[in-house]
Structure 1
Amino acid sequence: MTFSIVGRSVDGRQHGVAVASKFLAVGALVPAAAADVGALATQAHANLAFREQGLALLRTGAAAADAVAGLVAADPGRDDRQLGVVGATGDGATWTGPRCHDWAGGRAGDGWAAQGNILAGPHVVDAMRDAWLAGAALPLPQRLLAALRAGDEAGGDRRGRQSAALLVVERRGGYAGTSDTVVDLRVDDHPDPVVELRRLLDVHAMLFGRPDPATLLDLAGPLADEVAGLLARAGHPVGAAGLDDALASWAGVENLEERLVSGRIDPIVLAHLRRATGERD
């Protein structure tokens, strides 16, 4: 009823899960991840205890294959389970119990594992694998989602579509460096959940992505004048505290504070300010 991919970033700092299913709110059940530890997906007749148990095994330094073997060996319902695990290093691992509904199976390699059940066929998981391998240059959230989308476009869950989710973690990689959750997005009930998940990730990247230092623009001269005028039009005029303060006031309302740099402006912030005030990008 579900297809998923667990993966690790090329630099090893991020771990995550992307999943889709003809099932309500799949993101509430399948994925689990911990920074510097790994990620897993439990599905088919999901054993939710696998989430904490699997991460606990990975914390001991167990390889993904050993974590899968330990979880499966201790579970009397293993024949109806499906599981994918990736650890801090090494190959991912996957398990498909012999009583999982056809088509069911998985693939795994260095830093990833993809699996699914009640799929249109093995080509679904193969498409996920191929997209994952082709996406090494992408940030992990986008790479996981590209693999999930490839599986969806290859036929995905043969019963249809309903929900999808994306979870990515990194030590202090979350909002303002105060959490390990980089991305936690869920589409609980939607006719095209993977497409909707992609839209949400695009919004998330705009709002919470960090600015690229190479693209920052100096807030000086005509650009500073333009930004001041746009801020005034948006109801945040520049006062005695200066342009940075007015920009921060507006950005806080727009949830763009993660993209602020004193004395400079992110082109993404500038484009959003222009759109918000009716100017062209």
Structure 2
Amino acid sequence: TQALANVTYGPEGLAMMASGLSAEQTLEKLLAGDPNHAHRQIGLADKNGGATAHTGGECNGWAGHKIGKGYTCQGNILTGGNTLEAMAEAFETTKGELADRLVAALLAGDTVGGDSRGKQAAAVYVVKPNGGYGGNNEYYLDLRVDDDPDPVNRLVKLVKLHHFFFGTPKAEDLLPIDSKIATEIQTVLKRLGYFRGNIDGQWDETTRAAFWAFCGVENLEERWSPDKHPELLDRVVLEFIRERFAQQ
């Protein structure tokens, strides 16, 4: 919800849809109970792919919304309707997970005009069952950039970092840790003080323990652990090590 926001729309709307109401039914009930609905702007999407939106006649222009299959985008005080057109196209055509499509839409809208007042903040919030750190809550991704001259591009970078630090390896990216890779890792670990043994290219228990300590400090536990594929290494982790530590 935005414009002259009614922040109760969020929790109340979610509760209504959780009870079985569609997005359209929920919107109808929310607006019926709000005497200031002409000043409100709201978008809803339900679990069945339904989506709807409302832009009150008193919202500051340019104001409007665009509804697509399973999504809606809306804005007020925009430079024009092309902002929403660009957002919708980016959301529909971008590959990747929901967070990637959301920030792609933000970036597209920002690029063609966005908010007529300028730029200041951007945020993305995604929940899914067991989506949080360690699978222990539903808060998969909750990122924001406040008071920044280029907030959307900063947000795009944060989403990429989130994918790296909290993502899990893809099967096609797992590499066998041969003697060459083991030597490379031992060299870095020894330079950083994690490994005190001989650099011999052996991926033994001592080396794995040192690497696990390194992973703990660098927040790479989701990418490698001694209990999951200990003889394999995520390609993106190896690239991270090479870019950040190999030349130190």
Query: Does the pair score TM above 0.5?
Result: yes
Equivalent residue, structure 1, for 2:213: 249
Equivalent residue, structure 2, for 1:201: 159
Question: How far apart are residue 238 of structure 1 and its match?
Answer: 6.4
Q: TM-score, normalised by structure 2?
A: 0.91
> Are residue 146 (structure 1) and residue 146 (structure 2) matched?
no
Count of aligned residue pairs for this structure pair:
238
Deviation track 1:209-231 (CA, whole Å, cap 9, x = no partner) reads 11111111112322122212221
Following TM superposition, the consecutive aligned residue runs of length 4 or more in structure 1 with deviations greater than 6 angstroms are none
Deviation track 1:176-196 (CA, whole Å, cap 9, x = no partner) reads 111111110011111111111
1:1-281 mapped onto 2 (5 Å cutoff): 42-135=1-94, 137-237=95-195, 241-260=205-224, 261=228, 262-279=230-247
Q: Distance in 2 between matches of 1:170 and 1:242?
A: 38
Deviation track 1:12-38 (CA, whole Å, cap 9, x = no partner) reads xxxxxxxxxxxxxxxxxxxxxxxxxxx
Percent identity reads 40
Question: How far apart are residue 51 of structure 1 and its match?
Answer: 1.2
Deviation track 1:97-135 (CA, whole Å, cap 9, x = no partner) reads 110011111011211000000110111111111111112
**Structure 1, gaps ≥5 residues long:** 1-41
Question: How far apart are residue 247 of structure 1 and its match?
Answer: 1.5
Q: Distance in 2 between matches of 1:263 and 1:65?
A: 52
Which protein shows a greater Rg?
2
Q: Distance in 1 between matches of 2:64 and 2:106?
A: 15
Which has a greater percent of strand?
Answer: 1
Larger RCO of the pair (alpha carbons < 8 Å, separation 6+): 1
- 1:89 aligned partner, one-letter code: N
**Structure 2, gaps ≥5 residues long:** 198-203
